[in-house]
Amino acid sequence: MKSVSLVGSTGSIGRQAIDVIRSSPEGRYQVVAIGAHRSVDALAAQAQELRPAYVALGEASLAGCLAERVPPGTEVLAGPQALEAIAGEADVVVNGVVGFAGLPVTLAALRAGRRLALANKESLIAAGPVVQAVRSTPGAEILPVDSEHSALHQCLRSGRAAEVARLILTGSGGPFRGRSRGELAGVAVEEALAHPTWSMGPKITIDSSTLMNKGLEVIEAHELFGIPYERIDVVIQPQSVVHSMVEFVDGSTVAQLSRPDMRLPIGYALAWPERLERPFGTIDWTRLPQLDFELPDRACFACLDLAYQAGLAGEGAPACLNAANEVAVAAFLDGRIPWLSIAEVAAEVLEGHEPARLTSVEDVLAVDAAARRRAGVAVDRRSRAA
Ligand code: MG
């Protein structure tokens, strides 16, 4: 029996993790803690079904309202530290928190020597040097819950580290693949939210439309697997069936294929080094999928190269880019700036970034806050001009 703590349990990743656990043989996994920022109704319903020892709520003012709706024997933790408090409580901690707010959960899980099933890529991207420092805690390990990185993790089992020539991250290209810059000028929020192959939360769906998600995934791959940026490539695979590939020094390329279903990478992270017994995303070869490959349009989708630029600069630069992007995406979702301005705001803020060493969470927070401030100014200027 593996105990599981689900942080961000009411979001897309959390709900799919529960689905995987529900479909696993009785007694294989036990959810001992769940947590979310403020979704009291959903948390109460999950607590009734899963009967965890702990339910954590980030927003302290809603604690009373939650406490009367959880089953007897379930303890409610509330406040800013509640989510990280449940990150040390299980064999596997699923971090499905959205955005930079997931960093304390990542650090708490690794410091406690737990397996971190990491869906919150922002924590690794923004705080790479800080996360790397706690990754060597005995027992601590990161299993990626990102389809591409799960694919890379699987492909890397085919050879030794010294035999890896390149990582090839694949991406669907998002809803705007093939469009010219002119055609991208006036795209609506609803269009950007209509992802062709994956069903995900709004923030990551917008990131997929700009290819910022792919760019951040390049940084994530570098941090997870220690491969230099010159040996990480991006190829567009519009059907989202090939989830990433590893090329080895002898010229052989190993790919991982499945239908797009996040429950497969979630289950892989829970079960590793074993595999889930129930399949998710199996390909039906009687209905042969077409597999296309093309190179990304780096001029239209400028966010991809911004991410390489930030990754190569290292230290605080990825945190700066990530923060600027979060602000810009929120402004786009609010209708304050056009889609093309997401990359402009991110580029402007990254351009003005003052190099800073990252040795502590405070360092990361300082870079993050400064970048958010400057991104806010850049957004205001554009929304006034519009
Ligand atoms: Mg992904």
- Write out pLDDT tens, residues 345-355: 999 999 999 99
User: Strand, coil or helix: what is 290?
Assistant: coil
Domain ranges of the chain: 2-144, 150-258+290-385
What are phi and psi for residue 30, nearest 5 degrees? -130, 125
Could you give the CA distance from residue 119 to residue 109 in angstroms, rounded to a whole number? Answer: 13
* CATH code for residues 150-258+290-385: 1.10.1740.10
Q: Which CATH superfamily is domain 2-144 in?
A: NAD(P)-binding Rossmann-like Domain (3.40.50.720)
- Write out pLDDT tens, residues 329-371: 999 999 999 999 999 999 999 999 999 899 999 999 999 999 9
Name the pTM for this structure: 0.94
Cα–ligand 1 centroid distance for 170 (angstroms): 9
Cα–ligand 1 centroid distance for 217 (angstroms): 7
Q: Could you give the residue ranges of the DSSP H alpha helices within 102-211? A: 103-111, 121-126, 128-134, 147-155, 181-184, 189-193, 202-210
Could you give the CA distance from residue 327 to residue 128 in angstroms, rounded to a whole number? Answer: 20
Cα–ligand 1 centroid distance for 313 (angstroms): 23
- Write out pLDDT tens, residues 51-85: 999 999 999 999 999 999 999 999 999 998 999 99
Residue type, 382: R
SS (H, E, C) 50-107: HCCCEEEECCHHHHHHHHCCCCCCCEEEECCCHHHHHHHCCCEEEECCCHHHHHHHHH
Cα–ligand 1 centroid distance for 15 (angstroms): 17
pLDDT at 386: 67
Rounded to 5°, angle at Cα 125 from 245 and 15:
75
Each residue's pLDDT, cut to its tens digit, for the chain (386 residues) gives 999 999 999 999 999 999 999 999 999 999 999 999 999 999 999 999 999 999 999 999 999 999 999 999 999 999 989 999 999 889 999 999 988 889 999 999 999 999 999 999 989 999 999 999 999 999 999 999 999 999 999 999 999 999 999 999 999 999 999 999 999 998 999 999 987 777 678 888 999 999 999 999 999 999 999 999 999 999 999 999 999 999 999 999 999 999 999 999 999 999 999 999 999 999 999 998 899 999 999 999 999 999 999 999 999 999 999 999 999 999 999 999 999 999 999 999 999 999 989 999 999 999 999 999 999 999 999 988 76
Cα–ligand 1 centroid distance for 140 (angstroms): 23
